[in-house]
Amino acid sequence: MRIAEVACPVPLHKAFHYEVPAGWELKPGERVRVPFGPRRLTGLALSVFEGEPERPLKRLEAVLDRFPALDSHGLECARWLARRCAAPIGDCVKALLPPFIKSLEEPVDERQFVRALTPGRAPKDGFKLTDGQAAALAALCERLKLRESRVALLYGVPASGKTEVYLRLIREAIAEDGQALFLLPEISLTQPFFEEFSACLGVPVVLWHSRLGARQRRQAWLALRRGQARVVVGARSAALLPLPKLRLVVLDEEQDESFKQEGQAPLYHARSLALERARLAGALAVLGSATPSLESWQLARLGRAELFSLPQRVSSTERPSVVVLPPPGLGRVLAEELLGRLRERLSRGEQSILLVNRRGFSTVVMCRKCGWVDRCPHCGVAKIQHEAVGGFELRCHHCERRGPLPAACPKCRNPALRASGVGTQKVVAELRRELPGARLLRFDGDTPRLKDGEPYRRFLNKEADVLVGTKLVAKSFHFPDVTLVGVVDADTMLNMPDFRSSERTMQLLAQVAGRSGRSGKRGEVLLQTLHPEHLAIANAARGDYGAFADAELPLRRQLGYPPYSTLVRLLWTGPQEPAVAAAAEAHCAALRRELGAFGHELVGPAAAVLPLQRRRFRHHALLKCPPEGLEPALLAARALPSSSSVKLKLDVDPYDFF
């Protein structure tokens, strides 16, 4: 009998066997209609084989495609995602073959993906590469031609011209009749790269992110599946696209945490997925960064990735000077020296950027007498003070529910509430007082039309003198007239409940510093901090990423954190807190018994930092798996007894610790 192994869209960690009726054509990767209990489902054939079933099988009802929707590479990816992310195979197939792909035979007009070369935007062929760029490009082109899976880490200081290297490498992949996947961490960055690449490459280039319409995504998906489109520029989910001729994968800003999928399963990391795809396709993977993740840095140290450095900036301008200074006294946000430098820029008609870690006005409002804090009843976290019409309000940063700012403490009637901490709005308010006449622009999660790049264009067009923003401003935007960057609160990130807090601080400071002095004029960076000697801050100030990594890696090893382990976060949620706590305790005890002998370490369980969400209580634990220890850990975790009232979610390589 011919048997089809079918992935069905159900939240179960297994595939199902069906009989293939005699005489039917069915190839792996084709969609099928199958009976599933009382229902009819559309599944995907993972494999077709000859065998004798132990018990009678139900029969396939229809084959829906005339050729495979997922090729063998796609099927391998689905299995890899299911294994690596502990996700139901049905969810993994759905991620790779989205439901909006209806017919594989829908016509695609490939002209829609070809941009005419616009005057003045001709390919930058005459452009002289730096020695570093030329050497890296030559070596990478050689690796590309080998047609075997290779990983390269392109470590280039800010403004060292990584984009030009990517562009020429992509052209090489196209010349070799291949396809290239170019991944960026933010949707708002994809459009400018897409425009530049389409203008320079002269082949069908596809833009991809989750905010595009279904028709546009369907056409892009089909054009890539058929090999008509040669390049895709996209955010995280582009790593899931079908690329039968894949020759080159590039992740720019590879350290960025946005590459991790949150929310909807599979909770993949686009970097791991991209590396796996390059391995499967025999393609070259290039991870680019000025401040690589310690995971990638370690790959290079171990020789599993080849390191290429771009130590020079493209222009002759020197790296910005960095000054570390203490924050001002109480009641003030910006040090006098920083204000002075801002005034200088204003008088010279140059632009400045101020980085603030939090949006809103203050970070915490607390009663001075009894310590009362207004916690969101739905999320259990302290609300943040925000500006509102005619005054202030309190807002939950998790669910965005708003409430009034009380005039006195609701608990003890004390009228003296203290608002502490600095948000973007407070910095803007201080600038209005101190720099009257300066045109200010705020750039944070509350800014309207942020995703379509409108505020970015306004700052680029010099419609503002000072940009005040959260870490969004540090992303790889290019603002030629910025000569000053101020970091208002370099310390706040160091105190996050996350083992990556030092790495993130170092990366953010180095990145935002890279926004300064990008064309011609030398830039300046002022960091306000109480901890100038901290290894993240001191090395960021010196611009020495290697020294930071050398100091941080031994700490990671000592504590058993990545890159020396693989983490799995276990999150239990349910409507009754005692049941959630009891399930977490029982599961952790079982895991300790099961895994104790294999070098795993389990931290927790404990109530999550965000103890309540959508009326469900949350407890979590962190499992540190030694090398080769992930698979047994996931098997053990999946074998834990389940209950209807408490749900257990597994997150491999977690970035969210709240």
Using CB under 5 A as the criterion, which residues of the chain lie in contact with Zn ion when the complex forms? 367, 369-370, 372, 376, 378-379, 396, 398-399, 409, 411-412, 414
DSSP 95-135: HHS-TT---TT----GGGGPPPPPTT-----SPPPPHHHHH
Closest distance of CB 401 from Zn ion, Å: 5
Q: Cβ 372 to Zn ion, closest distance in Å?
A: 4
Query: In 3-state terms, what secondary structure has residue 580?
Result: helix
Residue 498 CB, shortest distance to Zn ion, in Å, is 20
Question: Is 59 or 411 the residue whose CB approaches Zn ion more closely?
Answer: 411
Residue type for 477, please? F
In whole angstroms, the minimum distance from the beta carbon of 415 to Zn ion comes to: 10
CB closer to Zn ion, 17 vs 378? 378
Provide, rounded to whole angstroms, the least separation between the CB of residue 394 and Zn ion: 11
Residue 303, number of CB atoms within 10 A of its CB? 8
Alpha-carbon distances, residue 67 vs 25, 63, 74, 411, 526 (angstroms): 10, 10, 14, 68, 59
Report yes or no: 266 and 133 within 8 Å, Cβ to Cβ: no
Strands 384-388 and 364-367: unpaired
Shortest distance (Å) from residue 609 CB to Zn ion: 13
Task: Using only the alpha carbons of the chain, give its radius of gyration.
Answer: 27
Angle at 636 between CA 630 and CA 640, to 5 degrees: 140
Nearer to Zn ion, 372 or 392 (CB): 372
Q: How many CA atoms lie within 13 A of 48 on its CB side?
A: 21
DSSP character for 382?
A: B
Local structure of 443: helix, strand or coil: strand
Provide the pairing of β-strand 284-289 with 205-208: unpaired
Closest distance of CB 442 from Zn ion, Å: 23
In 10 A of CB 415, how many CB atoms?
11
Nearer to Zn ion, 227 or 406 (CB): 406
Q: CB under 8 Å, gap of 24 or more: what pairs does 328-336 form?
A: 328/528, 332/430, 333/422, 333/426, 333/427, 333/430, 333/488, 334/427, 334/430, 334/431, 334/434, 334/486, 334/488, 334/528, 335/526, 335/528
The residue among 251 and 376 lying less far from Zn ion, judged by its C-beta, is: 376
Nearer to Zn ion, 249 or 409 (CB): 409
Q: Which is nearer to Zn ion, 10 or 382 (CB)?
A: 382
304 vs 411 by CB, closer to Zn ion: 411
Gap between the Cα atoms of 38 and 33, Å rounded: 13
CB nearer Zn ion, residue 392 or residue 499: 392
**Distance of closest approach, residue 3 Cβ to Zn ion, in angstroms:** 50
* Helix, strand, coil distribution of the chain in percent, nearest 5: 35, 25, 40
Rounded Cα–Cα distance for residues 574 and 580 (Å): 6
**Residue 417 Cβ vs Zn ion, minimum distance, rounded to whole Å:** 8
User: Based on CB atoms, which residue is closest to Zn ion, 117 or 399?
Assistant: 399
Residue 420 tokens, joined: 């502490």
Shortest Cβ distance from residue 648 to Zn ion (Å)? 23
Smallest distance from Zn ion to CB 122, Å: 52
Please, which residue, 418 or 432, has the CB nearer to Zn ion? 418
Read off the tokens for 503: 């790495």
